[in-house]
Chain A
Amino acid sequence: MSQGKEDFRMQEIHTPSAFEGALWAACGVKDAITVFHSPPGCYINQHVNMLVNDWTVDLYSTNLSYANVMQGAEEKLEDVMRKVISKNPAAVIVVTAPSVEVTQDDVEGVANKVGFKDTVIIRPPIGGSVNDGKDETFLKLLDIMEPVKQKLPNSVNIIGPTYSTFNWMADVCELKRMLEGVGVTVNTVMTAGTTVEEIKRAPKASLNLCIYPYDCGIKTAKEMEKRFGIPYLDDIIPIGFENSSLWLEKIVGLLKVSDSSFVKEEMQSAIEFAKSNMFFTVTFEMTAALSFDNNNTYAVGISEFYKKEAGTEIVMCSVSSEAAAERVSAVCDEVLLNGTIEQKRDKFISTAPMAIFGNFYDKKISMDEGFKNFIFADIPTIGYLGTENCPFMGFRGAKYLVQCLVNEVYMGIFLETKGEMEGKISGGVVPWDIKAEQAMMKISEMIPHFVRSTAMKKLHQVSEQMAVDNGTNVTIEIVQEVSDKFTPTKFKAKFSEVFDDVGPQVPAEEDEDEEVPIESLVFNMEWENAAKNMLEMVPSPFRKVAVENTENYAKEHSSEKVTAAVFEAFRKELGM
């Protein structure tokens, strides 16, 4: 084990392995029967986990017991294979489980004995990645392909989509539409939603398209080039308008398809779209965090599209491959490679994105931290219904990426910056201290233009109301409290800089040097001793305010008491 006492990492558990990859790729072949040679627990987990992402995928199992594994499970496998073969499947795919890999059952021997022609055995490596498992399945499927002398002109294979690849169905649908638009037909998809007959005829294609080049498929494309003489395209990710058109144009060039007007029409439509009121007006003001630990290709494609064509800043991106990390670094300053969930949480807070793209865990931590705008874009999901709609790839994918970002964020932020439906517009005529005005001015500069005016009205109104309630001017303390309490979380970290610039909340002069011992402070909530001790880090004059603000923070986050963790979280949110 690589981790030491000081490096306690748990997030690897939340990353799928080669066994998942192999099964997701195998089960995508619709008319084959996949048998998981495994104990029943492994089978149930794998099957149910696939069903939360894909519609009605079926999977069979040998249901091994401890005794079966210890004494050799070949007989059990033989029985199950014979039973499934009696159901006339187009092929049988056997995927072995980790326990079978430990005992090294003679699975190939059983398959030979049973003698069913189209049997594919996949033995994922223990310790392999999800993409290793997918590649292993793709490569093994080459063995049932039928070599041909004559290629089908204008015909391509798409390599890469598997079950449990986020959004595969929508992406494949859109890419097929685009290819048909330029007169190219899709011969085979490896493997999601395909048939055994389509797999067998894959060598007929004139070109292979690796649509997830930062994840899987390239090994298979190389092997198909060697075995069947099919060239492949892996250097353009069809995400974004420009890359979608470049991708199609390159395919048209490689296949020597007669020129069509499709790309021009699609780009004209994209140009019309870009003229939309709600496109640049909003996207130029946006910041997004992309957490794509299980889809490096999305990370590369989407970050480049948002940055270069939509003007959206990618403030943070999390990936799991070095190659993807290096490429994303060109458009994003904060790239995490195999980051832990805690590291991602810290980055979300410090970079304060207006929208977060990610998986279930990202959604959970963004909710915990008060980020309201979230777009599901990766696995695991626990449950996600995908269809042909809402692709991320292709021309329609580019439109959807803009559409979902604008619609998710615009109205959300707009409403967050409003007061109550029937609330007061103004609390009366209230004087402002200069420092408070300066702070408010700086805060306004940090709010996106499309909501700046309305957000500032709310902040003004709440500050003045608080001053009226206190019987004072609007002071910088009030502005700080208001900006803490009444603005979306994503802005709070930035606002803390304002109060550094304007100057700290200076207590009255006579108090400046006065020592404020922790035991003299008034606590209105229960504080853990560890949290109280952390107040030592706060300069004496600010301890009273620190207590007040920390308690407010604790209440906002539904904590019944102030713990060291609460104190630390608040400190981080303030960017300290």
Chain B
Amino acid sequence: MSLKSYEHCCSTIQALASLGKIEGVIPLLHGPQPCLYQNQVGSMSCRPAQLLTAGTLINKSNVIFGGEESLKQQVHNIYKKYKPKVIVIINTCVPQLIGEDVEGVIIELEDEIPDLTVVTCKSGFNYPRSMPLGSDTSWAALVGGFKEKEKVPGSVGLIGRTGQDAGNMAPIDIPLKKAGIKTFLFPAPHIDEMEKIVSADSLYSIHITNQLTSNRIKEKFGTETRFIEIPVGLEGTSNFLRGVADREKNQKLHDIVDAEEKRVRPEFDRIKASFKGKGYKMLLVTGPANEVSIGKIMAELGMEIFVVPSMKNQLYKQEKKIMEDRYGVTFIEEDFELLGDLIEEINPDFISCEFQAQVETVKKFVPTIINMMYLCDYGYDYAIDLGTNFLKTIKQPVYEKWQGFVSRYGG
């Protein structure tokens, strides 16, 4: 049993940050003040605008007598002020615990504000071991409010990770478009754009975090989402694109992939050569699922990779098998008390983790990157950039300087 949680953040922040990046959607946090304060402050760095969060501030009397009236009132307040298309009630731990009838409130609101779609998702300790799923549950809730649209024949929908993928899917979107495939991206920065995902003829998941969303789309609109593998690095990106090309019977996409491989392979070979023989070990600890995708890139480039995964769903299992078979990546799924224990055991050269874990890595000045800052990982060029600049970015000589201070002065 771990004495901490090393994950990226509370699933409520994930939900809030993902919804907070979509114009036309207002998230409403239903919870007590500490929950709201922390999630607000924690999500600020992820949100592009609309920085203030609306909440219900559940108090003691709400706990005893129920907070449904406050919730309903706040939905009215938000609608009056912002006129959003959708309000998503993020139902946090305490209202789940006291059994608030959020769905009942939504039914009443449907009559009171017919122009508004109100949906809800459960976050907090509904996902105690997989925080990135806060994004997935919020999207699944959004999908629940989508209306049926006519399918566009031959079109492809790409379902990404969390909110940060809005505007970040170009490395995968561009080759498809060049191959003449009409694409729909999910997420997108506007709710009208996101809703178009139901028009896609076929759907592909490009990360491991969106299983609930995919299931909801299938339930409601009948379109199945396929997971080939996460399209990062050279092999991952090519395999994904070729998989789409095969299924969509698009030779042009194959040709584009051939040309891209020709362009990038020398660069990949150069980076691999620079890492070869160095015996670099990297430990990636539960991020917003990028511990898997960044781990995959670094493994392809030749590092020995250890991953503590942030989730264990079906998509993860599929990706894990690929990474184990192809690169010999080690996945650490059993509990450990503290990261410090893992560091002792593995002795990594580099660590990727979140801030609460960095407290432990910094004690020994182990070169560390913070997961949440490495989120644009799709495609060939990101991997080239990451690999080319990794040692420069991590500034190992600075860590060595400080390790020297520690040997000299203690501390």
Chain A interface residues toward B at CB < 8 A:
1, 3-5, 8, 10-20, 39-49, 51-52, 56-61, 63-66, 69-70, 76, 79-80, 83-84, 97-99, 102-103, 125-127, 341, 360-361, 364, 380, 382
Contacts and interface: CB of A to CB of B under 8 A. Distances in A.
Given A48-B355, A60-B3, A65 B125 contact: yes
Contact of A98 (B34, B44, B131, B354): B34
B11 A41 contact: yes
16 contacts: A1-B70, A5-B77, A12-B33, A13-B37, A13-B40, A41-B128, A44-B7, A49-B41, A49-B42, A58-B359, A61-B5, A63-B4, A98-B35, A99-B94, A127-B33, A341-B52
Q: Which of A10, A59, A84 has the most CB of B within 10 A?
A: A10
Interface in B1-41: 1-5, 7-13, 29, 32-41
A66 B59 contact: no
B362 A45 contact: no
Given A16-B37, A98-B35, A47 B94 contact: no
Contacts of A58: 359-360
Given A13-B55, A56-B359, A69-B97, A126 B2 contact: no
B33 A45 contact: no
By secondary structure, the B interface counts as helix
Contacts, number: 196
A76 B45 CA distance: 33
A10 B10 contact: no
Contacts of A14: 37, 40-41, 52
Contacts of A361: 51
A188 B16 CA distance: 41
B70 A66 contact: no
Given A12-B33, A17-B33, 5 more contacts: A45-B13, A45-B41, A57-B359, A63-B1, A76-B1
Given A8-B81, A59-B4, A48 B9 contact: yes
A445 B342 CA distance: 68
A11 B60 CA distance: 19
Contact of B36 (A4, A13, A65, A341): A13
The 10 closest A-B pairs by CB, nearest first: A41-B10, A40-B5, A45-B38, A39-B125, A1-B70, A19-B34, A17-B33, A17-B34, A65-B128, A8-B77
B113 to A, nearest CB: 13
Interface in B64-110: 67, 69-70, 73-74, 76-78, 80-81, 93-94, 96-98
Contact of B125 (A8, A49, A66, A364): A66
Contacts of A360: 44
B337 interface: yes
B295 to A, nearest CB: 21
A571 B253 CA distance: 55
B356 to A, nearest CB: 4
Contact of B124 (A1, A39, A127): A39
B39 A8 contact: no
B40 A61 contact: no
B116 to A, nearest CB: 15
Contact of A48 (B36, B93, B128, B356): B356
A389 to B, nearest CB: 20
B7 A99 contact: no
A364 B96 CA distance: 34
A40 B355 contact: no
A45 B39 contact: yes
Contact of A10 (B55, B358, B360): B55
Contacts of A3: 73, 77
Contact of A44 (B54, B97, B356): B356
Contacts of A56: 359, 362-363
B53 interface: yes
Contacts of A45: 9-10, 13, 38-39, 41-42
Contacts of B13: 41, 45
B131 A44 contact: yes
A16 B29 contact: no
B280 to A, nearest CB: 26
Contacts of B39: 45
Contact of A46 (B38, B54, B55): B38
Contacts of A364: 51
B54 to A, nearest CB: 5
B125 A126 contact: no
Nearest to B123: A41
Contact of B131 (A13, A41, A47): A41
A44 B37 contact: no
Contacts of A83: 1, 3, 337
B94 A98 contact: yes
Contacts of A69: 93, 97, 125
B242 to A, nearest CB: 38
Nearest to B96: A66
Given A16-B37, A17-B32, A126 B60 contact: yes
B77 A39 contact: no
B98 to A, nearest CB: 6
